[in-house]
């Protein structure tokens, strides 16, 4: 069975929570990216949707269009999708964003559903390629529990209807463990029922509880950020 446009409509209905009610994180990263939030900048992140999601978006709004590549990297990306079930799209830009018509990737960024080695969906982990650009990754304690809960529930709904997506994230989670083991570094997981965990390198995916104050030491991202407490930087 595969996810249809109808399923995506239900996923959108279930997953509306902002990443943080207290922070407009776009205001944190945009000043360091020519005034555009990093995840809304086609030069940094090309939105990829599968065809049923694209059908749904087209039926709801004219916010999006198929990406007509203008740079070598965009051309490569579009070409790589030619024979696939997905396509690259582009919105009208952050100034024209329509909350209800954001793609699932927009709603989820910078997180993906993280599976432990036994195949349990234990929470959310971040797209590590955006470390150093996405302020949220360096400040995970600002993420609201409502966001985590809705993201997990809507993805579980998706996985019930599409085993392929389930497998994709199981494999992506394993890739993250391999990458961080090579780096000899732990990474943070936002627990699906609250709380934080570290996944330790070279441990077979062992998770230990992490304190919010330890996460606050993850990274001073921009020069204007306080060194250890993002909550002071509302």
Beta-carbon contacts of residue 44 (< 8 Å; ≥ 6 apart): 33, 38, 130, 133
Q: Which helix (H) or strand (E) covers residue 108, if one does?
A: helix 104-108
Rank residues 102 and 186 by Cβ distance to ligand SF4 and give the closer one: 102
Q: Which is nearer to ligand SF4, 128 or 200 (CB)?
A: 128
Distances (CA, A) of 108 to 119, 154, 168, 201, 211: 20, 10, 15, 25, 23
CB 116 within 8 A of CB 122: yes
Are 229 and 216 a contacting pair, CB within 8 Å?
yes
Residue 164 Cα distances to 3, 14, 85, 168, 174, angstroms: 10, 21, 12, 6, 15
Strand partners, 49: 87
* CB 156, min distance to ligand SF4, A: 22
Q: Which is nearer to ligand SF4, 47 or 191 (CB)?
A: 47
* Chain positions contacting ligand SF4, by CB under 6 A: 25-26, 28-29, 37-40, 47, 91, 94, 97, 102, 106, 109-110, 134-136
Q: Is the Cβ of residue 32 or residue 161 nearer to ligand SF4 in the bound state? A: 32
* Least Cβ distance, residue 134 to ligand SF4 (angstroms): 3
Of 123, 175, 177, 181, the closest CA to residue 152 belongs to 123
Nearer to ligand SF4, 102 or 192 (CB): 102
Residue (89 or 207) nearer to ligand SF4, CB: 89
Question: How far is Cα 131 from Cα 120, in angstroms, rounded to an integer?
Answer: 25
Nearer to ligand SF4, 81 or 94 (CB): 94
The least CB distance from residue 40 to ligand SF4, in Å, is 3
The total number of residues shown for the chain amounts to 234
In angstroms, what is the minimal distance from the CB of 202 to ligand SF4? 29
Least CB distance to ligand SF4 at residue 205 (A): 25
CB of 67 to ligand SF4, least distance (A): 12
Element (H, E) at 136: helix 135-138
Distance of closest approach, residue 25 Cβ to ligand SF4, in angstroms = 3
């Amino acid at each position: 069975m595969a996810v249809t446009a109808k399923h995506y409509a239900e996923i959108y209905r279930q997953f509306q929570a902002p990443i943080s009610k207290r922070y407009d994180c776009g205001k944190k990263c945009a000043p360091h990216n020519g005034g555009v939030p990093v995840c809304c900048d086609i030069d940094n992140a090309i939105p990829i949707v599968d065809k049923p999601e694209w059908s749904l978006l087209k039926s709801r709004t004219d916010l999006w269009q198929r990406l007509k590549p203008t740079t070598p990297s965009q051309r490569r990306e579009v070409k790589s999708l030619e024979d696939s079930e997905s396509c690259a799209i582009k919105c009208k830009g952050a100034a024209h964003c329509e909350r209800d018509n954001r793609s699932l990737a927009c709603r989820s960024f910078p997180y993906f559903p993280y599976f432990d080695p036994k195949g349990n969906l234990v929470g959310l982990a971040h797209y590590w390629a955006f470390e150093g650009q996405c302020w949220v990754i360096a400040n995970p304690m600002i993420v609201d529990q409502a966001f985590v809960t809705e993201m997990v529930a809507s993805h579980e709904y998706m996985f019930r209807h599409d085993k392929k997506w389930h497998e994709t994230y199981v494999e992506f989670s394993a890739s993250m463990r391999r990458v961080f083991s090579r780096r000899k570094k732990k990474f943070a997981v936002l627990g699906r029922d609250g709380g934080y965990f570290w996944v330790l390198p070279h441990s077979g995916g062992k998770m230990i509880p992490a304190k919010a104050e330890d996460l606050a030491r993850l990274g001073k991202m921009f020069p204007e950020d306080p060194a250890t407490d993002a909550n002071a930087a509302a």
